[in-house]
Structure formats: C-alpha cells, structure tokens
Amino acid sequence: MPPENGKVQRGQVLVYSIIGCPHCVRAKNSLRQAGIQYVDVSLDMFSPEVQQEAVRLSGGKSSVPQIFFNEKYIGGNQELQELINNKEEWDKLVTYIEETEPTKDNPQPPDASLAKNEEAAGMLLKCEADEYALLIGQLKSEGVISSKSMGLFTKAKQGFTGKDFVKWMKETKEVDEAKAREIGQALLDQNFSHNIKQQQFKNDSTVYTLLEDTFSQALNASTYECAVGSATEVGEELRKLILKLYALFISPDGTAVGYRGMAKSKEFEVYEKLSAELQRVDVANITRNDKVAFFINIYNAMVIHATIKKGAATNLWARYKFFNCSYYIIAGELYSLQDIENGILRGNKKGVGMLRVPFQNGDPRKELALEKAEPLIHFALNCGAKSCPPIKTFSPKGLQEQLTTATVSFLESEENCSVDEKNGTVTLSEIFKWYRSDFGNSDLEVCEFLLKYVRDENKKTGLEKLLADKKVKLRYSKYDWGHNGKKD
C-alpha cells in the first residue's frame, strides 16, 4: 500500500514487536495512519538470535517496540508519538524515508530460516482421548453420579459412592471387584474424583465427588477429555493461546481490550476447554525452573481469564476479591492468584493486605512453594512499564535470562525507576514498596538490587554515586490501577 500522500516510499521502516503488546499495536497503527509502510518483525516467531540482534541495534533496549527508519533509530512507541506530535521533525523524517533508499548497513529483516517452526495456537486440534475421562463421561450420562448425602448436615450436589461405582463397573464393564477398585483408585490418583478426608478408594458408602464439582468456583471447572501433557507443555500452550486471543481483540491504538467480544469468541471457547487440562498436570516432580515458568504462565493467563469472566477490578475491594477469589484447579488442588504469587513464587510469604501466609502447615500446596522468594517474578507477572518486555511466555530453558530481560525492560521506564543524584532520591514503582522484603532490607540494598539490572548509563552512574555516599532515599510513584477494557 503506497503512502496516503501518493508518493512512493523508497526507504524501509522496520518495527520489532511481539504479539499482544499494546504499545506495539499503537505504534504500528500510528504508522499506518501516517501512510508509512513498515516491515513488522514479530520476535515471538523467531529464534533468540533475532531478539539479541534487536537489543544490539537499539543500543541495549530490551523493550518493544523498537523502530528504525532506514539506519535511523527512532526508539519505542513513546518516542514515535513524540516525533509525530512535533510536526516539523516528523515532516523531515517522512520526507527522508520517502526519498532515501536503504543501504546494506541498515537493519535488515531476519532470514526466514530463523523463524520458529510451530503451529499457531488458537485451534483445538484432535487429541488422544483419555480413557478415564471417557469413563467419567459415562458415569455422568448413565446416572451413577447424583446428589449424595455425606453426613448428617452435608450433601454433595454431584457424587457417587464407592460401592455404587464398583457395582456399575462389574455390571457394565464386566470386571471383577479388584479391578473395579483399582480403577476407582486411579480416578483419585489422576485427579478426576476427590474425597476431602482420604485418598484411598473404598468399596463402601464413602462418597466421592468429581474435582470439577468439589471446586466448582474455579474458572477451569470442567472435564478435559484428552490425555494431558507435561506441566511445562500445558503452561506454555495456554499462555501462548491466550496471548494470541488477547492480540485479536486489542484496540487499534493499543490502549484497550475488547473483553466482551473476547468472551463470545470461538478462540476463547477453545481456551476454556484447554484450561481444564490443568486439573491433572503433575507439578510435584518438576524442577525449580519448570515450576517458576509454569506458574508465571498460568498466573498471567488466569488474570485475563478472570477479567473476561468477572470483569476488571475497579476499586480496592474489587481488587481484593479478584486476586483472592479467582481460582484454577491445578494438579488436584485449588489455587487463587494470591496463592500462586505469594504462596508458590514468593516462597509462602504474606502478600499485600494478607494477615497470614497463604499455605498453613498440613496444606499439600506448601510443598510446592519455592524455598525463597524469586524477586524477578514481579516483572514477569504483569506489564507495568510503558514498554512491555519482549517475552510473554516463559520457558524453563534460559529462564533466568528471560526474567532478567523482563526486569531490565521494566526498569527502563522513568515511571518505574528514576534516579535524582542531586537530591539523593530514587523513585520506584510501588511494586518495590509492596514487596520490599524481596529486594532488600534497606534502601541501600534495594539500590544494590537495581544496579544489577539497570542498563541506562545515567541511572547506573547515579546509583553508583548514591551507593558510594551511602545516602539514598527511596520514593514511590503511584501505581496506575486503571484497567484496559473497552467500554463496549
């Protein structure tokens, strides 16, 4: 498409972006409105070498978008918008890109051979059916599961007794009692059914409920009929899918998301079905990196899922309910957003407004908690910066490098980290106030943490001077809780 002014564009505009980044969407929309043709390099679709090249070309910036007009480095979306609002400078730049052909020294689009060979998420593919899931379907359809008394004052809306199950198995599957009990135990072990008091299947009046009925308040409370993959595979699959879904419904200016439209989409219907896969994943026998990557991905996906189903939290009480009462069933247990962040990823520490730690003694979820808090998760669980980090899905391989990239990107923003050497102050996002113990026990220790990840030379020099003088005062910028939902 030629520019709107009818002139042929001889130069090349290159944009490094990622799927679902609102700042990338806004930048590309602004270029289109100005009639500027551009080459979009989505870093999601290429190997890490391409991302490293983008960081090198932009002088160490790890955020996106990064924009180049031929050899001229423009910066990110904020810098682009400032240029557009400066009519004299913008007209010069437009004239330059219209009249100047690129040279061999200009940033070049990556070779197609570096693209990842993976299917786009968003369609539910045929899967290998799980025999126990099919069995649950038969129990439902043949009336074995029904309202059951669980005591003098307790009743299960949907359940079955051990003896009813054994009887049904013997009659319909022609198996003996030993085999029927073995299958009943397998349903417990694989997190299809549940009994709150014990995990041993018995051929008696003990009542068992389906996990989806026991934790019916969970966002993913339904039966998943396919065989379940590893925790790492499931976490990455869900995170990639919801990011693609997010990208489909973001506004052209990148400032709002159409959650209502998203809720009605076929893609979200697919996501809801796949999220039930989490009920049966094995998270007890995975490495620390697997665990951290898995729970970051699931947390981020659940935030979007909960926003679609419940709406955005708009005040203090709503935020409390959102983070404490939005749940997923994971590996047979119920987890809220607070449980994942403060229980698992922060090593079972009290979070904002919490009177006690998430997991008490005897809680099986406590065994999954990290031995100590991972401070870098705070820059992976949300995108509080003006420029989002170029990693949206985290994987165990190279996890620390990915977390470092997210942290570096977060600290690039002046709103999240600014240094006033003259007055001896460092102004930070309130995240550093809320989770202070994760970053250091004193203002100086927090500055030592920052120095590891700040790449801006002026900020780095300022921090070094303040640390040398041992005089520093931390201040905090107000956190913007405004939500990004469209008013549709």
| Amino acid 348: pLDDT | 97
Please state, rounded to an integer, the average pLDDT across all residues of the chain. Answer: 87
Q: Provide the whole-model pTM.
A: 0.83
CATH class of 131-214: mainly alpha
Which residues are within 8 A (CB) of 172 and not within 5 positions of it... i.e. 6 or more apart? 138, 142
| Amino acid 124: pLDDT | 40
Euclidean distance between CA atoms 296 and 305, whole angstroms: 14
Give pLDDT tens digits for 281-331: 999 999 999 999 999 999 989 988 998 998 888 778 888 899 999 999 999
Which alpha helices (DSSP H) does 100-189 contain, by range?
A: 131-141, 162-172, 177-189
To which residue do tokens 């557009």 refer?
Answer: 84
Euclidean distance between CA atoms 177 and 318, whole angstroms: 51
As annotated, the residues of the chain forming the CATH 3.40.30.10 domain(s) are: 13-114
Give pLDDT tens digits for 327-350: 999 999 999 999 999 999 999 999
As annotated, the residues of the chain forming the CATH 1.10.10.10 domain(s) are: 131-214
Least reliable range by pLDDT among 123-132, 213-222, 418-427: 123-132
Q: Is the pLDDT of residue 119 over 50?
A: no
Q: Encode 301-317: b = buried (16+ Cβ within 10 Å), e = exposed.
A: bbbbbbbbeeebbeeee
Q: Is the pLDDT of residue 125 over 60?
A: no
Torsion angle defined by CA atoms of residues 382, 386, 392 and 397, in that order, rounded to the nearest 10 degrees: -90
- Name the CATH code of domain 13-114 (choices 3.40.30.10, 3.40.50.620, 3.40.50.720, 3.40.1440.60): 3.40.30.10
Give pLDDT tens digits for 196-237: 566 789 999 888 888 888 899 999 998 888 888 889 888 888
Give pLDDT tens digits for 238-253: 888 888 887 888 888 7
